[in-house]
Amino acid sequence: MSHPRALFTWSAQRDLAPLQLAGGSGAWFFDASGIRYLDMASTVVNANAGHNHPAILAAMRQQLSTLAVAGPGMTTQVREQAARRLAQVTPEGLDSFLFTLGGADANEHAVKMARLITGRRKVICRVRSYHGATFGALSFSDDPRSEPFLPALPGVVRVKDPYCHRCPWDTTPDVCDRPCASTVEEALHEAGPGTVAAVLMETVPGTNGGYFPPLDYYQRVRAICDRHGVLLILDEVLTGFGRTGDWFAVEAYGIVPDMITMGKGITSGHAPLGAVAVHRKAASFFDEHLLMTGTTHTAHPISLAAALGNLDAFEQEGLIQRARELGQVLSARLAEIRSRHAGRVRDARARGLYGCLELVDGADLASMKKNALLRGVHILTRGRCLFIAPPLVISRDDLLHGLQVVDEVIAAS
């Protein structure tokens, strides 16, 4: 006789022993037994404003009391409010918004729009990309998680990454002429510039390394795209909404892309939502042409209310500035951990409240994650990287406590 069960993604069901969450507040959550855990990973790098933030919950309750269902072709007050509020925090000109179900389909919609606007089909992506778990997003990704679903969508061109710590070209940073950027133009020429619709890149790569491209990298990529009439789409699903100390990570690079995709932190995980912010020059194409994309729950009222409450939380608590200030604490402490464990930690890097300790090959990160949880701290690991990405509401003392536990589990490994 079969037993009803909920299936868990990215897991062999027989091996599962998941935490049964019962609640949370701020940077902490607790399980069904009442055991509290410090969340140094913002669950899956999405609870930027923390757990059960009162401003977000209040906005969702208010929306539930008025309008809980709307069709994707209908306008609602909350839809218009969300577009206006987001336009106040996105880079100049990125003021048209297609609301989606999450980050993965935001990337798919962005590529579809680029193809419609340009009439071209190919997309240039980086080797260490991860753009989501839908089939199309996995096609744009170059990640072990894509392997079972090959062959992927055609027309995706790969270029190497601006990963200075493990530079594919073995250049010296202070004399580097940025072959990582030049390779984008080389790929364009090889593919045929008239065939490429877009360049799609994670502004700061997520769980495939958590590294920060050189500050002039995107200026060069932007210029290349402009020369060839190619749209630049930056994936900020993980880095958007304060994670790196700015509203969006691209702000540190001094350029404006044609589109930004977002998810995760747009509601701080309180409801499923993503969005594509489209520059007005690109969005004007759809004034006269059909925007041939969308899903049933596009611009869902409850999710949009959560986004508005999330923006309220950011403003009330000054979370962007807070991420910058605590980011200095995180950077300094990660550097200390690297120095103390030089035989185990190859590199430490951080910007805002997004940090990564890259460990030596063969390090047992699964055990480190398990041991941290036994000490009441939730961390994120993948490959040889241990990520630190706590809610932006975390206190300085809690941040230091979590980092002390990380230090201890590395020492014990």
pTM value is 0.96
The position carrying tokens 């932007």 is: 222
SS3 358: strand
Average pLDDT rounded to a whole number, residues 262-291: 98
* pLDDT for the residue 301: 98
Pair type for strands 354-359 and 345-351: antiparallel
CATH 3.90.1150.10 fits 13-40+318-411, yes or no: yes
* pLDDT for the residue 209: 87
Per-position DSSP letters for 167-230, written without gaps between them? -TT---GGG---HHHHHHHHHHHHH-GGGEEEEEEESS--TTT-----TTHHHHHHHHHHHHT-
- Sequence ranges of the domains in the chain: 13-40+318-411, 56-317
Answer whether 13-40+318-411 and 56-317 agree in fold.
no
Span 160-184, pLDDT tens digits: 999 888 888 877 766 688 989 999 9
Edge to edge, the sheet with strand 28-31 lists 21-25, 28-31, 36-39, 377-378
Span 43-88, pLDDT tens digits: 999 999 999 999 999 999 999 999 999 999 999 999 999 999 999 9
Give 313's pLDDT tier (boundaries 50, 70, 90). very high
* pLDDT for the residue 169: 80
* Token pair of 336 as six digits: 């200390």
232 and 250 in contact (C-beta within 8 Å)?
no
Span 119-168, pLDDT tens digits: 999 999 999 899 999 999 999 998 888 888 888 899 999 999 998 888 88
| Domain 56-317 CATH class label | alpha beta
The Cα angle at residue 399 between residues 393 and 400, in degrees rounded to 5: 155
The position carrying tokens 């190919």 is: 122
Neighbours of 55 (CB within 10 A): 20
